[in-house]
Chains A and B, each alone.
Chain A
Amino acid sequence: MTRSIITLVLIASLATACSFDDSGEAGSGTAHFTVYGEDFIEQGIPAEEVEDGWEIAFDRFLIVLGLVTVADSTGGEGATLAPPILFDMTAAGPHDVGTTGELEARAWDEVGFDIPPFDAETEVDASASEEDAELMDENAYAVYVEGSATKEGVTKTFHWGFTGTTEYRDCVEVDEAGEAARVGILVTNGGVTDVQITIHGDHFFYDDLTAANAVLRFDPLAAADDLGDADQEITRTELDAVQLVDVDTGTYGTGSASDVNTLGDFVLALTTTLGHFQGEGHCHSHGD
C-alpha cells in the first residue's frame, strides 16, 4: 500500500515537474536550502536515548557547509551555492544556507553537499562567532564539537576538532517509515522548494558504523579518559589510545572501513555520518 502511495505521489510530482507554462516553455523555480541540528544538538541528548544512561549536551557544534549542489544524472545544469558557510548548530535553527537561481521546473536527482575544512573563502553565519571562525581557521577544522556528558554525578567534557572533507552525494528523501520517497528534489513551476540539510549530532555516539541496530553509547568514551589522565576531559589522544578490541561493551563494528581500529578512529569515522537530507533522509558519496 505504502509503495502505491509513493508511486502515485511520485507520478503526480513528476507530472508537475514536466508541466509547461503558458508560453509552452518548461517553467522554473528555485530551491531554498537550510541546515538544522534538531533538538539533539540544540537541546541535548536525553539520558533515556543513550544505552548506558549518559546525558549529553553540546556547547558548540561548529560545522562548515559547502558545495551545496543541485544537478541531475542526465547532465542537466543545476546550481551550486558558494562559498562555504560556518554554522554553530547549537543556535536555534534551521539556519539559512541560500537560495539557488532559477532552475528548470522538474525533478533534480543529484543533490549533495560537502562538509569541508574552514578556509579563506568561508563565510561566517550569524549563529557562529568570530572566535569560532578563528578556531576553525587556525586548525582547518571542518567540524568542531564541544560539550559534556553526565551520569550519576560524573561529568566528562570533550572538545574535538576534525579536519578533512566529507562529501555527501545522491541524497535521498525518506518518508516516516524510512522508505525512499524521492531521489533529490523536485523544483516546481514558479515555486520555492524547501530543502533541509539535517545534521545528526547523536551520531558521534553510535556504537557501530554499519549495524542497523546500533545504539548510542558513552561508557567506552568516558573510560578512555579514565584510562588516560582521568581529568574528566576526554581527548582525542585518549580515544586514539584505546584499541577497539579492548572495548568490552557494544559492537563497535567497522563495516568496510578497513583502518578503523581505535576508539579515536571510530569517532573520526562517525564524523562522516553527520550529514542528512530532509530530516532522516540519507546520502552517499561518489568521491572526487
Chain B
Amino acid sequence: MIAPVLSPRHLAASIVGASLAIVLPLVGTVFTACGEDSGATTGRRVVLATTVEVAPAAEAGFTNAFGFEITLDRVLISVGELRYFAGAPIGRRDPPLAPGLTGPRLVHAHPGHYVAGDELGEMLDPLTVDVLAGPAALPDGQGITGEYLSASFRFASPPVGSLADDLGGAVVLVKGTAASADLEIAFELSAAHDQVLDTYGEPLIAGCPFTAVTVDRDGAVILTVDPTLWLDQVDFSREPDVVTGEPVVLDPAEVPHQAFVRGLKKAAAYGFSFIPNPGASP
C-alpha cells in the first residue's frame, strides 16, 4: 500500500502532485482523443529490493574542503522509511558543474515548494547498517511503475537491528581519522534524533536525488550514502582543546559538529538509483 505522506510539507507537495495526477492523465487522454498516443506506462505494481551502500569516495578516503585527509573506520546509520517520488529534487544539477556553479542548472523554481509529486514506492522497515561493511540488504519495498526522480530518507529512531546498540542512542555514528599539516586526530562524530530534525520537526531528508529512471519492472533500489558530504565542511581545527594524536569526540555545541549536522541534512548525501531485475519483464 502506498500511503500518502501527511507531514505539512508533504501534504502541500502532495496537493500539487495529486492535482497533477488528475491533470496529466487527462492531458494524455485528450491527446489520444485527438489522435496522439500518450504512451502511458505508469501504475503497475513492482517489487523493489533495497540495498544500502557507501559512496566509493568515502570508502577510499578523501580530502575535505578544509584540507583534512579523512579515513573512515566505521559509519553506522539508522535507516528508516524510504519513499520515492515523481517530482524532481530542488537544486539537482546534471552533470555536476564546477567551479563556481556556472552554466545551466537544474532547478525547481520555487524554494519551499519542492514538489515531491506522486509517491511511487516505499521501503518501510527500519534497520541499522554499517555502510563500510559492504552493501546491506534491507527488506523489500514496493511501488508502482513510473519515472522516479526524488526520494526521502528518514532516520529511524529509536534504531533497530543488531547494530542498534552500537549507536549509543544516536542515529548516526562516524569514526575515523583526520589529518592535516598541523593536526592528526582520531575522531568520533555522532548525531542524535533531535539534531537531524527538519524544519517540521521530523528526522527526514526530503528531496534526495533519484537518478532519473523509469521503473518498469521489478528490481533493486540502491541507496548510496555519501559521508564525504557529511564531513566536507568539518574544520577539525576549530574544535577546542583538540590535541594531535589524541582521540576526540566532537562536541555538539561546537562549530565542527554543527558542520557535520549540516552535512547530514544535505539531500545529495542520500542518492538513489534503480537496477532492474535481469529476468523481470517490463
Contact = CB atoms under 8 A, between A and B. Distances in A.
Contacts of A206: 111-112
Nearest to B228: A258
Interface in A221-264: 243-246, 251, 253-261
B160 to A, nearest CB: 27
Interface string A267-280: 01110111111001
A101 interface: no
Interface string A64-83: 00000000001000000000
The secondary-structure label for the interface of chain A is mixed
B208 A10 contact: no
Contacts of B103: 164-165
A177 B27 CA distance: 21
A256 B268 contact: yes
How many B residues touch the partner, as a band?
A: 35 or more
Interface in B88-112: 88-94, 96, 98, 101-112
B65 interface: yes
Nearest to A75: B36
Most buried by A among B20, B23, B92, B93: B23
Given A178-B16, A254-B266, A255-B90, A166 B107 contact: yes
B86 to A, nearest CB: 12
A163 interface: yes
Contacts of B13: 212
Contact of B33 (A18, A164, A272): A18
A256 B89 contact: yes
Interface string A182-210: 11000000000000000010010010111
Nearest to B117: A180
A180 B30 contact: no
A285 interface: yes
Contacts of B262: 244-245
B263 to A, nearest CB: 9
Interface string B144-158: 000000100000000
A179 B259 contact: no
A174 interface: yes
30 contacts: A3-B22, A14-B30, A107-B31, A164-B104, A178-B16, A181-B23, A206-B111, A210-B112, A210-B114, A210-B207, A210-B267, A211-B111, A211-B112, A211-B198, A211-B199, A212-B12, A213-B112, A243-B259, A245-B258, A245-B259, A255-B90, A255-B206, A258-B266, A260-B91, A261-B65, A265-B101, A273-B109, A273-B110, A287-B94, A287-B106
Given A10-B23, A275-B109, 18 more contacts: A3-B22, A17-B34, A18-B34, A166-B104, A178-B16, A203-B110, A209-B111, A210-B206, A211-B111, A212-B12, A212-B13, A212-B114, A244-B233, A244-B262, A254-B266, A284-B88, A284-B109, A285-B107
